[in-house]
Amino acid sequence: MERVRVLVIDDSALVRKLLSAMLASDPAIEVVGAAPDPLVAREKIKQLAPDVLTLDVEMPRMDGLTFLENLMRLRPMPVVMVSSLTRQGAEVTLRALELGAVDFFAKPASDLADSLAAGAAEICAKVKAAARARPRPRATVRRLEVAPRLSADAVLPRSQTPGTRGGSPIIALGASTGGTEAIRAVLEAMPPDAPPIVVTQHIPAAFSGPFAARMDHCSAMRVCEARDGQPIQPGHAYIAPGSQHLLVMWDGARHVCRLHDGPQVNRHKPSVDVLFRSTAASVGAATVAALLTGMGDDGARGLLELRQAGARTLVQDEESSVVWGMPGAAWKLGAAEEALPLERIAARLLALASRPAAVAATAAIH
């Protein structure tokens, strides 16, 4: 099996050294070079033909966004942004994802060596996933320690009886790699009176607030970062905070958002499986759910539980996904009724949500 060839671009010699060492510690990755700025990187791309770039944002001679925009126009290739974990860094990173970057890795502002080493497994996984993606224009290395993988049971035990509460539909979305732009495509196509939408996107805590604000600007719906106890209302979309699981619960009179600071599920917090399980238990057959582009398989089992509860379920198809990991895993489980291109998902969600829950319940798997 050929190794993924990576070029590291960062103006900090320390970051170049640390990132290169971390990536090289993975036997499936080969660091073919490093560059202090985009102009040097441009020549090295021609010479070395890397499979993936890691790209800093703030650099001399040319900033990372300008370089990325030119790259995606002239020579599209997988790029993982390495961005500071700040609000300003979040805004710039979201812009980079719009321009065509596949994913991002949050670079801490302090304790650089220790913090980067702690994220070694994450950056290696993102680079390997990026190598399989379809770009779309628009110190001493420590042994990698992998956190134990927990299921949604760690946060919310599975209900033996699916929810049958009322007929008001709720749309549930889950995504990871490439998901910020996929979610935007769905929310942009929604009318202002659409059924309520709950969203779990794998994203760091510092990024989820700016992401929600960005979605609010581009959608006719009101989009916000979910708050604990917040009523779920039509015309509103609720995005899981980057540090907490989002659940949909019935409080005796209405559905509300509940935030849970439990352990990572499928090594993610927030987890799509947790959102989907809670929706299966509290909304049941009135749910319409879609699992969008993303690395791994978080959300696949949750989507299956939703379908078994009578919900209508979709996945984004392979051709339009940046990474067909999560939707592909759900499709193989039989968790989805349909696999659709991204541009058709919003209309299909609305059409399915307009059906009475009693009719939708006939689609349940027994």
Cis peptide before 270 (omega within 30 of 0): yes
Q: Are 270 and 245 in contact (CB under 8 A)?
A: yes
Distances (CA, A) of 39 to 36, 52, 96, 290, 347: 9, 17, 18, 41, 43
SS3 70: helix
CA distance 317 to 307: 18
> Among this protein's residues, is 20 annotated catalytic?
no
**H helices present in 141-189, as ranges:** 179-188
Q: Which of 83, 176, 219, 321 is catalytic?
A: 176
Q: Are 334 and 305 in contact (CB under 8 A)?
A: no
CA distance 313 to 330: 10
Q: Are 173 and 303 in contact (CB under 8 A)?
A: no
Residue written as tokens 């399980």? Answer: 277
Q: Which of 202, 245, 260, 268 is catalytic?
A: 202
> Among this protein's residues, is 202 annotated catalytic?
yes
Give the closest residue to 300 by CA, choosing from 355, 253, 339: 339
CA distance 333 to 299: 11
Q: Are 57 and 66 in contact (CB under 8 A)?
A: no
CA distance 285 to 313: 10
> Among this protein's residues, is 176 annotated catalytic?
yes
Q: Which of 10, 37, 51, 298 is catalytic?
A: 298
| Residues identified as active-site | 176, 202, 298
